[in-house]
Structures are given as C-alpha cells and as structure tokens.
Amino acid sequence: MRKLLVILLVVTGCFAFGQQLPQYTQWYWNQFALNPAHAGIRDCFELKAQYRFQYTGIEGMPHYGNFTLTTPINRPRKEFLTPRHGIGLKMATEKIGIFLTNRINLSYAAHLNFSQDNRLSVGIDAGVKQLAADIGSITTENFDPTVHQYVSNWMPDANIGFWWNSKNYYVGLVFKEFLGSKWKNIGLESRYTMHTFLNGGYRFVGKNGFSFFPSMLLKMPVKGKTSADIVLLFDHNNQFSYAISYRTSEAVMFAFNIKIKEMFAIGYSFDYVFRPLGGFPNSSHEISLTLSGCKAYKKTQTGCDLF
C-alpha cells in the first residue's frame, strides 16, 4: 500500500503541473476525440472506441477509455461557402489510482468549403464531467474519519476546436478544458487548467495505393512543459496502416490498424517508455475499434481517413 501511495503522489504531482489530460497514441485515427471541429466532417456516421492501459504492471497506474459517435447533417450544398454541419457524442473515463474522471459531451461543428479541396471547420463540445476520489480505499494505521470517504463533484465541461484541410494536408487547433475546474474536497490547489493542442500532417501519395503521412501533435499545458508526438504513418490501399511515432523525452510507439469487411477496423499500439519506474515494465498498450458507414475506397485508390 505504501508503494501505491508513493506512486499516487508522484502521478498527481505530475498531473498538477504538467499534462493533466489523457494522451492517446492513436489520436491520428480518431481526430474527433481530440478536436470537436471534426464532428461530421466525413459523409457518413462513425463510431469509435479506444482503451489504453498505461504503465502496465503497476498498481494504480492510468487507465483511459473513450467512446465517440459522429455524423453529418444538412449535407447537400449548392455553392461554396454554404456550410455543412456535423454533430457528435463523446463519452470518456479516466482512472488513476483512487481518482476517477467521467465525461459526457455533445459536439457541433460547421464546415465551410472555400473551394473543392479547401475547408475550414469550427466546432465546440459541451457537457459535464465528474471528478471523484475514493479516499476511503486508503488504508491508514489509525482510523481517520476525514480519510474514509468517497468524494464526487460534477461540473460543466467545454472544448473549442478549429480545423483546416486541403487535399493533402491538415492543421488543427484545440482548446481543451476551456472552462477550467477546481477539485472541491480534494485540495485548495487541485484544479484542471486549459490545454492547447496543435496538430498537422501532410499526405504523400505513392504508387499502387501506397501513401505516407508524417504528422505532429503539440500538447501545450498552461503549466508544465510542452510535449510533442511525431508520427510517421504508412497506408496501403486504405486497408492496412501502420505507424512509428516518438513522444518527446518519454516514449517510442508502434501501431497498426486493419480494416475488416470494409465497415470495421481494429487498431493496436504499443508504447515503450524511456523513463524508469522502479523496475516495472515500461510499456503501455492501446486498443481501438471502428464502425464506419463510409463507402469503401477502391483498392486502386489511396484513401485518407484523417480528412
């Protein structure tokens, strides 16, 4: 138990001054989970789920999961600059030791096409989040009534996102935890602060249905260091993709995604973490599932699931 408490102090300290929000390795396969401006950007419904086991083998380490559903509305347009619209639903859970965060958000996005290939999207999601701590699960030498309790707080949650893409590149900007929040009954200085995410990528089209997507995600908290994910993603006929990525000063990651019977896809990623954690396995695992109503690309074409 003492080892668990030490770990929790380290983790909560890192989250208080650094990256507070979950970081998924496969963010490039679920842009909507990251940016509300991606709601309904494709001409079909998409249902996706992700689950992440971080630092496996250590009691109390982070477990993250999310479920997203997005669909376009008002799809027909007669001329450029006539907006299209999209809506979406996000549900997420985050478990770190005794701390639990649950979120549910509804999203809306407007998509403006300035030309056949150039598009600006603006999105917002709003909802509620629960911040809870099972303090009663902590074992103390002597009974302490202030420790043996379960605390839970509900508060509003909102995120704002912007997205620009052309035929072969995209740029996204997101303001997460736009409202901020305090953890009542946890501590006077315990709070979520706004985070800024900036990402972008470019598609190089090769022969025989092969394409190459270098991309980057910058994560900029108000307090703490900026970190970056640098990704090299390879796609074959929009059927099989794999990626090699690097998270600055933290980990190297490997991922693959396979389409099954056109509508379904499954992804897996493995993180090897550089930072030692007391001799425990320095690894994280992530699984993703996708159900999409989009029509399949012909195998002679190169598709682009990013936009």
Convert 85-96 to b/e letters by CB count within 10 Å (16 or more is b).
ebbbbbebbbbb
Q: Is 39 helix (H, G, I), strand (E, B) or coil?
A: coil
Q: Dihedrals φ, ψ of 223, to 5°?
A: -115, 145
**pLDDT, position 99:** 85
Q: Which residue has the tokens 């509900």?
A: 154
Residues present in the chain in total: 307
User: What is the C-alpha separation between 160 and 146, in angstroms, rounded?
Assistant: 38
Q: Which residue has the higher pLDDT, 160 or 148?
A: 160
Segment 109-115 mean pLDDT? 90
Percent of the chain with pLDDT over 90: 50
In this predicted structure, the answer to whether residue 188 has a pLDDT above a threshold of 90 is no
In this predicted structure, the answer to whether residue 44 has a pLDDT above a threshold of 80 is yes
Alpha-carbon dihedral of residues 135, 139, 141, 144, nearest 10 degrees?
Answer: 20
In this predicted structure, the answer to whether residue 5 has a pLDDT above a threshold of 70 is no
Q: What does each C-alpha distance from 73 to 39, 43, 83, 86 come to in angstroms?
A: 10, 9, 10, 5
Where is average pLDDT lowest: 136-150, 154-168, 191-205, 216-230?
136-150
**pLDDT, position 194:** 85
First and final C-alpha spacing in the chain: 47
Segment 42-47 mean pLDDT? 91
In this predicted structure, the answer to whether residue 177 has a pLDDT above a threshold of 90 is no
Domains, the chain, ordered by start:
2-292 (2.40.160.40)
| CA atoms in the 13 A half-sphere facing the CB of 10 | 11
